Amino acid sequence: MAAEPLIRVRNLRYRYEDGTLALDGLSFELYPGETVAVLGPNGSGKTTFVLHLNGLLRGEGEIIVCGLRIEKGNLEEIRRRVGLLFQDPDEQLFMPTVLEDVAFALLCRGMDPAEAERRARAALAQVGLEGAASRPPYHLSAGEKRRAALAAVLASQPEILVLDEPTTYLDPPARRELITLLGALPQAKLIVTHDADFAAAIADRAVFLHRGKIVAEGRVSELVHRYGWTPHTSGRRER
């Protein structure tokens, strides 16, 4: 591709405190407008990898996001540009009401509360949850929680969406809704998933992680067919 990549990762290595080598020289690029699925067995380093993309984990190697190298002085700007959707929406929806939660990042960045509320309501409308603004997150269904968490990410108008297992806890209708919703968003997307059908429905290409490295790249159907899941499942807990 001719365009500059939005994310460029070179030779990323990360070792957990217990000594586990989670990422072992991983290199990757994400281009504007692309949707890339990150596939791989449990424990292959998928979540560890995406936590590096907005500086929540800091390994060795080089990561450049939207032209900015990940370093302490850039973290605030990088976190605005990279919207990270976590696997468990209960961990992401921590404020007392959905509206407060969606406005959280905007207020943290010093936005005027009235403008933050306007932007938060617009983000809720974008995901079809405008009626849930005053509800506490624990009153939402799993699908609604996922959409509310997505609204919280979209409110910051990120350039890149990084989604960690977005179909977890979703029933088939909620999953279909999510596919439609994500398909309509213009941002470049990096999606960690075990859900091969979901990945095939939404991703332009996929990368396959194994033991902290990208071992293959191509169309989702090709990779799923080539690797399957069972032979590579290490049985270790995903980190």
Partner 1 sequence: MHHVVLDEWGRRPGWLQKRDARVKLVALLGYLIALGTAPPLALPAAAGFGALAAAGVVLGKLPAGAVALRAALVLPIGLFLAAGLLLGGAALRAGDLLVRSYLSAVAVLVVMGTTPMAGLLRAMESLGVPRFLVVVLHFLYRYLFVLSEQAQHMRLAVRSRGLDRAGLRRCPSLWKAAGGALAVLFARSLARAEAIHRAMLARGYRGQVLWLRAARMRPGDWLFLAVALTLCAAVRVVLAHAG
The C-alpha angle 212, 215, 218, rounded to 5 degrees, equals 130
Sites of contact with partner 1 (CB under 8 A): 51, 54, 56, 76, 79-80, 84, 86, 88, 90-92, 94-97, 99-100, 103-105, 107-109, 113-114, 116-117, 120, 134, 136-139, 141, 152-153, 156
Q: Which residues contact 150 (CB under 8 A, 6 or more apart)?
A: 85, 127, 166, 181
Tokens of 34: 């692309």
Tell me whether residue 57 or residue 223 sits nearer to partner 1 (CB atom): 57
Rounded least distance, CB 214 to partner 1, Å: 23
Rounded least distance, CB 138 to partner 1, Å: 5
Rounded least distance, CB 18 to partner 1, Å: 14
Tell me whether residue 97 or residue 219 sits nearer to partner 1 (CB atom): 97
Tell me whether residue 133 or residue 206 sits nearer to partner 1 (CB atom): 133
Tell me whether residue 51 or residue 220 sits nearer to partner 1 (CB atom): 51
Looking at the chain, the number of H-run helices and the number of E-run strands are 9, 10
Rounded least distance, CB 220 to partner 1, Å: 26
Other Cβ atoms closer than 10 A to 46: 26
107 membership: H or E segment, kind and range: helix 98-108
CA dihedral of 14, 63, 188, 31, whole degrees rounded to 10: -120
